[in-house]
Chains A and B, each alone.
Chain A
Amino acid sequence: MLMLTCPYSGVTGEETEFTCGGEAHLKRFGPGSSDEDFHDYLFSRENAKGVHFERWRHSYGSGKWFIVARNTVTLEVYGSYPAQTTEPPQWIKDKISAKVPGWSWREFS
């Protein structure tokens, strides 16, 4: 059972306190976009084996959304940061590089 830390309240809890919200850093395409973009937004996911970025909400706590960087193979959690960014902050990228050199996920590495 994962232990996640909400970056707003600072609370570290078991994953049962939180709700998973799917893959992070998706670019939303709505009405007026091409079929292909809309289809990709709805269905295409990285489904990475290894480094992965996910949206989580602290549903039994602050209720806020944040993004967790974790490894889907080793179940290690690298850290969490507020969801109001389009790109993972540099400190978390460095932290992941220290553990998994040469990683890449979508356009980040």
Chain B
Amino acid sequence: MSTRLATGGRLLSKNRAIEFTFDGKRFKGFQGDTLASALLANDQMLVGRSFKYHRPRGIVASGPEEPNALVNMGEGATFEPNQRATTTELFDGLKARSQNTWPNLEFDVGAINSKLARFLPAGFYYKMFIHPRPLWKHVYEPFIRQSAGLGQAPKDRDTDTYEHLYAFYDVVVVGGGVAGLQAAQAAAASGARVLVMEQTEHWGGRAPVDGGIVNGATVDKLVDDLVESLTNLNNVTLRLRMMGAGVYDHGYLLGYERLRDHDPQIGGPRHRLWRIRAGQIITATGAIERPLSFAGNDIPGVMLASAVRDFIANWSVSVGDRVVVVTNNDDAYLTALWL
């Protein structure tokens, strides 16, 4: 039973409520939610089915490392499959549908595959669909095409525009956490032209959630101060919602900026590809948590410990009343404290 808590929510604007639909059902969320946090706030843990055996899948992480919560987003010209619910910022009128299920998410006919697992070993298709030969074109192939993949292919033409540009900087910092912001400040102080790119819509990375005291104040304050001082410098470019898409040789890197995925009402291009030549590239991209392996680690409700505290701290969502924390290092105690 995941619910919204009464207080908290660092990234939420609780005075701005948003309506969205998931699988045809209408839900409410807040400005600042991701689709995943809003679904959890509405006690919707089940978000999809696995590829082959159609096992139920729930939200696992809180960031781009999410493997399960892939949804079909939008309709018609804006339809796009395989969007991660954890990186999709909620906007009014968002429509999402779960993938790889028929007729619906709770009761999926494809789940019969897991009962037939005996007859579907790895590579079964090398032997199974060969005879009788005439059946391939009109029986086997359509069936395979229909059941393959997770999302659906868009049928309408994409009406959005996309652009690319070339950019040149002395120092490019990939990652807007504390390390990246401090590196940018040091580089800017030496007079270099600096670009800082952060793929989420907020600065500071994990630090404001994981806490810590710097110079007698919480890390939030340090992050805010850094951002403010960097914004005021005219040799520093700060970009949110911009991902470092690849770092190549001789200082070449690609940045991918998503301009209006969070608010389709904004005009202009949807995404922008930056082709950047940098004198120096600093990747301050942080770390993500590795999941533990154990029997049943794919059941909906099994989540990363850092994700659990992210949902509590950032979006005031409690993922459950009774939570079991399993750990092999110190990090999970932070989650236990948050709970």
Contact = CB atoms under 8 A, between A and B. Distances in A.
Interface residues of B, number: 5
A26 interface: no
B172 to A, nearest CB: 15
A2 interface: yes
B187 to A, nearest CB: 21
A3 B279 CA distance: 12
A68 to B, nearest CB: 13
Q: Which of A1, A2, A14, A77 counts the most chain B CB atoms within 10 A?
A: A1
A42 interface: no
A47 B248 CA distance: 22
Nearest to B251: A3
Contacts of B250: 1-3, 75, 77
B321 interface: no
Nearest to B249: A75
Contacts of A77: 250
Contacts of B248: 1
Q: How large is the interface on A (under 10, 10 to 19, 20 to 34, 35 or more residues)?
A: under 10
A33 B68 CA distance: 65
Contacts of A2: 249-250
A33 B214 CA distance: 77
A1 B248 CA distance: 7
B252 interface: yes
A19 to B, nearest CB: 18
Nearest to A4: B250
Interface in B243-277: 248-250, 252, 277
Interface string A28-54: 000000000000000000000000000
Nearest to A2: B250
Contacts of A1: 248-250, 252
A1 to B, nearest CB: 5
Contacts of A14: 252, 277
A75 B249 CA distance: 7
A77 B250 CA distance: 9
A77 B249 CA distance: 11
A21 B234 CA distance: 44
Interface string B132-175: 00000000000000000000000000000000000000000000
B244 to A, nearest CB: 16
B165 to A, nearest CB: 15
B169 to A, nearest CB: 15
A80 to B, nearest CB: 14
A23 to B, nearest CB: 20
Nearest to B252: A1
B194 to A, nearest CB: 21
Interface in A2-24: 2-3, 14
A64 to B, nearest CB: 22
Interface in B108-132: none
A103 to B, nearest CB: 20
A14 B250 CA distance: 9
A1 B276 CA distance: 11
A14 B252 CA distance: 10
Interface of B: 248-250, 252, 277
Given A1-B248, A2-B249, 10 more contacts: A1-B249, A1-B250, A1-B252, A2-B250, A3-B250, A14-B252, A14-B277, A75-B249, A75-B250, A77-B250
12 contacts: A1-B248, A1-B249, A1-B250, A1-B252, A2-B249, A2-B250, A3-B250, A14-B252, A14-B277, A75-B249, A75-B250, A77-B250
